[in-house]
Chains A and B, each alone.
Chain A
Amino acid sequence: MNRRRGRFGRPEIVGLMFAAPWLVGISIFGLYPIVSSFYLSLCRYNIIRPPAFIGIENYSILFTEDPLFWKSLWNTVYLTAFGLPVQLGFALAAAMLLNMKVKGQSVFRTLTYLPTVVPAVATAILWVWILNPEYGLLNSVLRFIGLPAPGWLSDPTWSKPALILVGIWGTGNTAIIFLAGLQQVPRALYEAATVDGAGILQQFRHVTLPMLSPVIFFNLVMGIIGSFQYFTHVYVMTAGLGGGGRGAGGPEFSTLVYPLYLYQNAFLFFRMGYASAMAWILFLIVAVILAFVFRTSSWVHEDS
């Protein structure tokens, strides 16, 4: 073989060959579905028949005719806007406690992380029982201390708070990342702050938070993305007895999150084009929100 025939040198070829499995994989299983989902979002497509091009009709139906689109978007925004701060706050508090030098520290760390190891579906089923309004653990405790026991997942006013509560259970990952961040904060800064007469709260406000801000930022971004994809728990916890996602999203559509409605359109109603359009709108929404978050990230302390 004439080496000069090639338009680029041997190391590049070898490099590309090594990267080839990945390149092929990402183009077949990543790039191609993404591009085709955009095309399908401009089509009416039910899998069985070939897609029929209809322009932006799916998008215009979503925006003008479909109240459930707005309802599901609102549910997802609600869970993000109220759930994410609670979860981040809880994870941060847990991380700070775990960062304290106490006896059995590693045991507490393991316990905090443990729920994350449990599969999402198992967690969901477990919580269905905890939240059971009649026999659930949570309501038994509430009744015992004399508080009102809400209907949780069976009550449209309480169903979303219930989901947020379940979300706290899964914050082990976030807490571990916070913990790693906390351990990066130089002790000298706290010592200096103590010398300057700063109390615990002031230390938290002026040392911990700024030094931790890149980690908070990271968790915030990942949290927003994760929250907009939130699906498994609702799918399992609110599904009717029929299974397969039928009847999920209740009561009164109060837990019909965006990805669940997308799923129903795709796999229950066979409206793949419509579901693809929903997926692209979701992508744009997340992109815009993240662009905003990045734009306003001046609070992130850079030189850590």
Chain B
Amino acid sequence: MQTSPNSETFSHSAPTPPAPRRRRRSGFFPLISLAALALACLAMLAFALPGCNRRVDPNAPVELRFWYAWSGYEGKFLQSLVDEFNATHPHIHVQGSFYNIGDKLLASIAGGSPPDIVTVWEFMLTTMGESGAFFPLEDYVTSAGLTRDSYLPNLYDYGTYGKHRWGVPSAMNALAIFYNTKLVRDAGLDPAQYPKTMAELAEWAKKLTLYDERGIMRQLGFSPSATPVYFWNFGGNYFDTENKRFTLDDPGCIRAMEWMASVHKSSGIVNVRRFSAGFGKLDSPLHPLAQGKMALREDGQWLIKILAEYAPDLDYGVFPFPPEKAGDTAVTRVDSSFWAIPYASKHPDEAWEFLSWLIAPEQSARFCFALRNIPPLHASVNHPAFAEARKDPRFDFFVREVEEGRARTQPAMPVGQQFQEKLEQGQDVVWGGSITPKAFLENLNMDMNRQLDRETRMLGSGDDL
């Protein structure tokens, strides 16, 4: 517009032909008017927005927004609990809604109007909490009378990093190894004599992996992927919670990853990948275990419900992860999503009142029963509302793994999501054989500690909140 040939033609319609000097200046006018208009617009927004939040009636119940991450049957059940709370607590009204955990929460926090209670993944909790996204819950938890003894073993500190508790676990999953009884028997193995060492498990994996005469895989024995569980069972510790350092170069971790790599190698990783690419959805009748495509599979107790629904005739069983050496105690992993209260919530007290009701033994037991998950409190797993679930010995096996202290949680860390992503994708490179487990873990350790340092520098010690 300010270039001369065009303004020449434009000026024909002007009342007086512009003087050259004026024309030269006209280049600035759009900028000035633009800035003025932009300011006017912003000012209008600024005046309009605060009006939205005005409370009208001081006696009206406090409105809370609760975002949960369950849909379908589970979502409906959770919503029924919310309705029950609303009916029994007239001074609070909770509005529950489903959301996909992720960007939306971040956007709502950035926009200054997050929900009052929210569900987040384990890995996001500490990263976001340490950044100041969530209200610390340690005082609330203490005042609710919840102590180390109220929780199942290893779970009291779950969600706590340094001195702050950023969330409370909602409904938990524990891992173990499922087996398809027929496939195990067909290979001449006895499910009652399940593997007692990692070496035996590798042996089973090999025997249960079958190829047809053309060399095409038709049954996959076992494909280990729950890396932390193997770290632990090989005596490795990958995160030093006290000093807040990664210790992935721990000899136990390296041995664990070498073992995992050897299992993938003996099944033929290229074949494993293409065979697994043909697996159907896990929460459907196409589950590889039900389809007889996989003989052993690490999975959570939630699968019991899926199989009961979609493959009621399947003969299957469960056994625990073995230790590295016979006779040692093996552990498994238990994990959970978390309920947290965003820091910007205007009603943290009411939000906690709702949350403490939701995690109380009875509600927690009912919710976890509906989901076939494991509740985190002793009082919940022993609650009558949960007794029905424990009648199934396979399900009860998972509960006892946690109850009797053989389940551990991933340590809280402020770079959890990044660690998870880089470990999962990176170990794929290890299985492919282009890097040794040792080199991979050493690189990852260096990388993650650097990220941790930077994060800590940015976040401070976490005590300034």
Contacts and interface: CB of A to CB of B under 8 A. Distances in A.
A and B pair up: yes
A12 B26 contact: yes
Interface string B97-130: 0001111001001100000000000000001100
A237 to B, nearest CB: 11
Nearest to A242: B121
A244 B425 contact: no
A214 interface: no
Contact of A156 (B131, B277, B432, B458): B432
A23 interface: yes
B421 A246 contact: yes
A28 interface: yes
B454 A47 contact: no
Q: Among the interface residues A7, A24, A240, A252, which one has the most CB atoms of the partner chain B within 10 A?
A: A252
A5 interface: no
B30 interface: yes
Contacts of B425: 247, 249-250, 252-253, 256
Contacts of A267: 102-103, 106
A226 B41 CA distance: 33
Interface in B1-18: 10, 13-16, 18
A15 to B, nearest CB: 8
A251 B109 contact: no
B34 A23 contact: yes
B277 A134 contact: yes
Interface residues of B, number: 55
Contacts of A132: 277-278
Interface string B441-460: 00000010010001000110
Interface string A1-28: 0000001111110001001100110011
B33 A49 contact: no
B353 to A, nearest CB: 25
Contacts of B33: 16, 20, 23
Interface stretch (A110-118, A147-155, A290-298): A147-155
Contacts of A244: 100-102
B256 interface: no
Given A28-B38, A244-B100, A268 B421 contact: yes
Nearest to B429: A252
A46 B131 contact: yes
A220 to B, nearest CB: 28
A110 B429 CA distance: 43
B119 to A, nearest CB: 13
B274 interface: yes
A137 to B, nearest CB: 13
B6 to A, nearest CB: 12
A215 B281 CA distance: 45
Given A155-B270, A241-B282, A247-B425, A268 B110 contact: no
Contacts of B275: 133-134
Interface string A243-283: 11011011111001000000010011110000000000000
Nearest to B458: A44
Contact of A16 (B29, B274, B278, B428): B29
B225 to A, nearest CB: 11
Given A48-B128, A49-B132, A252-B432, 20 more contacts: A9-B18, A12-B26, A16-B30, A23-B33, A23-B37, A24-B37, A24-B41, A48-B110, A133-B277, A134-B274, A134-B277, A151-B270, A151-B277, A240-B424, A244-B100, A247-B424, A252-B429, A264-B421, A267-B103, A270-B417
19 contacts: A7-B29, A12-B14, A20-B33, A20-B37, A44-B454, A44-B458, A65-B450, A132-B278, A133-B275, A133-B277, A151-B277, A154-B273, A155-B270, A243-B100, A246-B421, A251-B428, A253-B429, A268-B417, A270-B106
Interface of B: 10, 13-16, 18, 22, 25-26, 29-30, 33-34, 37-38, 41-42, 100-103, 106, 109-110, 127-128, 131-133, 270, 273-278, 281-282, 415, 417-418, 420-421, 424-426, 428-429, 432, 434, 447, 450, 454, 458-459
